[in-house]
Amino acid sequence: MRLEKVQEVCLRRGIIFPSAEIYGSVAGFYEWGPIGFSIKKKFIEAWRDFFIKPYGFYEIEGSLVLPEKVFEASGHLKGFVDPITQCENCKTIHRADHLIEECTKMFVEGKSEEELTEIIREKGLKCPRCGGNLSEVRMFNLMLKTEISPVGGIPAYLRPETAQNIFTSFSRIFKAMRGKLPFGIAQIGKSFRNEISPRRFLIRLREFHQAEIEVFFDPDNPECPFFHEVEEKDIPLLTREAQKEGKEASMINVKEAVETGLIPNEWLGFFLAKEFEFYTKLGIPPECLRFRHMLPEETPHYSKGNFDLEIKFDFGWKEVVGNAYRTDYDLRRHSEFSKKDLSVDVNGKKVLPHVVEPSFGIDRTILAVLLFSFREKGYDRDWNWMKLPNFLAPFHAAVFPLVSKDGLPEKAREIFEVLKKELEVFYDEKGSIGKRYARADEIGIPACVTIDYQTMEDETVTIRDRDTKQQKRVKIEKLVEEIRKIISY
């Protein structure tokens, strides 16, 4: 499996590895080492450039810990639950719905505890680990609870999504920024979920990064001013009918999908089309992307349309972005619970805005990028390499002296110091040059600059291209320009 191989590279190269490793670590928590962190930073910048800056949306940084009231209003306290069952023999806890789906291929989304227990009994399902009997199913809340203050603790939770800060702070931000509908607020940050069985590396974590945008608009005026950018575009849509008939996604024109009501409004259509373009730029093949219209039983009662962007991994299709038309649900609930009027004035009319939300999982997306860019040893060379999109590469270039003698390292350091001012570069002088190229390829560095004996004579170096392995000689003074050519997109 590609996943295990990429995970091995991530561990060995310190890219992404388990937290508190020296103490045995806890499932679902990972550290991003220097290379991983650099990739993540670049991903976030690219996401900002693509989804935020051109459209004048505002970004905030809200707190990770929020009081219980927030989640009472949002519905998380009651409804953010997963069904679990425990083995009476080995005590392992299983996600009841996943266990049933895996063992019977039945689709059980939205079923109650009683219904799930009944299926387990009827089908005679046992613990997959030890064959023991399974307990009755009960619901488990996925939020991580904490307490504020040393005495008489105030109950609070680590946020399970970044969106709630945006809703609770909406009024203040709208006023402070002299807002006008439509109005977009985004947040990139950590979210926490006490997942029952974290697994598949970055797919299901207990602490993960999300990037969410909430666009607030007047339901009487739902036009998206940027829709013209995407209206000609086709996107792979898996309709509810196609799902029932076991068919694949088909390419559907965004404008038509909005006009026929398949996609509920222009804002949602806009985001789906932009996501398709963005994920293709990330190197995910278009045929491995689809937007699945969630079935009625999977859709929250207040939503007027949920479309998950899914990627086809080796282990099946997985959601990487949740897109939802949340109507006025969140602002209405927070209005009711806080007793604050969260409506805005639109030409003398009071409007409680409606919301469209794309919710991106950053870790899952980066995992997909790593998996699709991974070229295993033997593919076209004798070592692993990553065909990372160059704008995500952890370093723009690596600088190597051919050998570590005869003044070459000193010259290489000198060049490294110059490049460092303009680019992100990595210096290495240990080991054979072939091994150093291989190490640079494995983490996706697009260009390697080598200082050799000729450099000492004519102020030229070689630049090697990661993808083609071709080398060319360039003047040191042209080096920055040449590397920029390689990394531009």
CB of 365 to ligand AMP, least distance (A): 7
DSSP per position, 47-66: HIIIIIGGGT-EEE---SEE
The region of 204-212, 259-267, 275-283, 379-387 touching ligand AMP under the rule CB under 6 A is 204-212
Site string for ligand AMP, 305-334 (x = CB under 6 A): --------------xxxx------------
Q: Which of 387, 402, 346 is nearest to 219 (CA)?
A: 346
Q: Token match 């076991």: residue?
A: 246
| Site track for ligand AMP across 350-389, x = CB under 6 A | ---------x-x-xx-------------------------
Tell which one of 99, 125, 205, 230 touches ligand AMP (CB under 6 A).
Answer: 205
- Residue 201 CB, nearest distance to ligand AMP (Å)? 10
Q: To the nearest 10°, the Cα dihedral for 189, 109, 276, 465?
A: 70
Query: Under the criterion CB under 6 A, does residue 290 sit at the interface with ligand AMP?
Result: no
- Minimum Å gap between C-beta 368 and ligand AMP is 10
At closest approach, how far in Å is the CB of 483 from ligand AMP?
33
Pick between residue 165 and residue 171 the one whose CB is nearest to ligand AMP.
165
Instruction: Kindly tell me which residue out of 42, 95, 159, 204 binds ligand AMP, with binding defined by CB under 6 A.
Output: 204
Q: Tell me the C-alpha distance between 266 and 230, whole Å.
A: 10
| Shorter beta-carbon distance to ligand AMP: residue 174 or 201 | 201
Nearest residue (CB) to ligand AMP, 179 versus 322: 322
Half-sphere exposure of 270 (CA within 13 A, CB side): 19
Q: Find the helix or strand (DSSP H, E) in which 466 lies.
A: none
CB 261 within 8 A of CB 222: no
With residue 404 as reference, give the H or E element that holds it: none
Per-residue three-class SS string for 327-387: ECHHHHHHHHHHCCCCCEEECCEEECCEEEEEEEEHHHHHHHHHHHHEECCCCCCCCCEEC
Q: Per CB under 6 A, does 195 bind ligand AMP?
A: yes
Residue with Cβ nearer ligand AMP (205 or 412): 205
Segment contacting ligand AMP by CB under 6 A, of 148-156, 166-174, 200-208, 468-476: 200-208
CB within 8 Å of 196: residues ≥ 6 apart? 82, 84, 93, 94, 95, 140, 142
97 binds ligand AMP, rule: CB under 6 A: no
Q: Strand pairing partners for 225?
A: none
- Return the residue matching tokens 């219980």: 68
Residues 149-178 that bind ligand AMP (CB under 6 A): 161
Q: Which residues bind ligand AMP (CB under 6 A)?
A: 161, 193, 195, 204-205, 208, 210, 319-322, 359, 361, 363-364
